[in-house]
A and B are shown apart, each in its own frame.
Chain A
């Protein structure tokens, strides 16, 4: 299994996201490198494993931040499941699958944030608000296109073929 390239990709994505936080944030929106990495990883594995990998990346992201544990794990897991369910045999399809994964993840982060605020009286951070997440989808989606093209060129290092039967 080609796990190591994905572990390195996720490690770098989370590290860069934490380190470049100020640079990647525009108002309340931000470019989320981890969403891109998780959506890409989800498309590289056969179905249940891709979603599982996205959950693990989300959990690592939660554990390295200051937000509620599980927020990104659940969102990336479900977003990753959507991305991995789509066909990715060409670059435009893979880019599309990643965009779907990113959008679903962002919407879920917003929804779960609202739910937590309602259930737990935990104030919703501006980044997790509607405008923040709408901007995040836009910015992350824009970056995901060129990044996915580069990753598509290197797909041999990442893709894990599923059993054909």
Chain B
């Protein structure tokens, strides 16, 4: 009898799951909230993953005592204090570096951003925690920053009181209108290439693409590897226009459509390995 009931429950669940999988909507808010239940495991694992990926070095001891101590107790205390100081100096240096890196976002933009810590991910979607009292809403742009450049990271797809789910620009459901541009070092300014406005969409696997562009148009504009795709999307805040999306890595002819090419774009950072995303709230 119990076996029969278990079998009935099983088939009801499987059928409902099949229907939901094919026809059901995405429940970003619910998923984002449920993901928090796994944070006790996913967050340390995520930190470990980043540590392994970037091979962060332990702090070096910068102190050098000039006068050797004789008393074992004082030596032990000294040792402890040196380690503590080394730790603090490393943390301070890291914080200074983060502060410095964040300034790459721009003086206009940084005060209007909220930092969220990435605690996990699912393909091209990141799960991030934080935000405090800042009101984060779906549709808000997420930015990344690094040592040299900052750029678009993705779009908030769901938000809860504890954090948000960020769909990266490499996710196929994210589309951003853009322009191609090249940095002219001699004039120290960006030169926009006159192509038809490209629609940059996620290609999965950490890459973006312009799925279909006229080859003739690209050649006339002189688009080449290393050129940048910049945000030119009216649905995004004006402050983010001209923000970097990524760099052209390849222009591939579409075999079935002569005269058309697919432009592969690599985001300006390894988005799946971000430790932190900055959510642009908009209000001052």
Contacts and interface: CB of A to CB of B under 8 A. Distances in A.
Given A22-B49, A77-B13, A116-B22, 10 more contacts: A18-B45, A19-B38, A19-B44, A66-B123, A66-B127, A69-B26, A77-B10, A78-B14, A81-B10, A123-B202
B123 A69 contact: no
Prevailing SS type, chain A contact patch: helix
A66 B52 contact: no
Interface in A75-94: 75, 77-78, 81
Interface in B21-55: 21-24, 26-28, 30-31, 34-35, 37-46, 48-50, 52-53
Interface in A1-51: 11-12, 14-16, 18-23, 25, 27-28, 46, 48-49, 51
Chain A CB within 10 Å — which of B17, B30, B49, B202 has the most? B17
Contacts of A119: 22-23
B10 A15 contact: no
25 contacts: A11-B38, A15-B45, A18-B127, A19-B42, A20-B48, A21-B122, A22-B53, A22-B121, A25-B123, A27-B205, A48-B6, A52-B10, A63-B30, A65-B122, A65-B125, A66-B28, A66-B125, A69-B31, A73-B13, A77-B10, A112-B21, A119-B23, A126-B205, A127-B123, A127-B204
A70 B18 contact: yes
B114 interface: no
Interface residues of B, number: 58
Prevailing SS type, chain B contact patch: helix
A74 B17 contact: yes
Contacts of A64: 31, 34-35, 37-38, 122
Interface of B: 3, 6-7, 9-10, 13-14, 16-24, 26-28, 30-31, 34-35, 37-46, 48-50, 52-53, 119-125, 127, 157, 165, 167, 171-173, 202-205, 272-273
Interface string A114-146: 011001101111110100000000000000000
A58 interface: yes
A65 B16 CA distance: 18
A15 B121 CA distance: 10
B45 to A, nearest CB: 3
Interface of A: 11-12, 14-16, 18-23, 25, 27-28, 46, 48-49, 51-52, 55-56, 58-60, 62-71, 73-75, 77-78, 81, 112, 115-116, 119-120, 122-127, 129
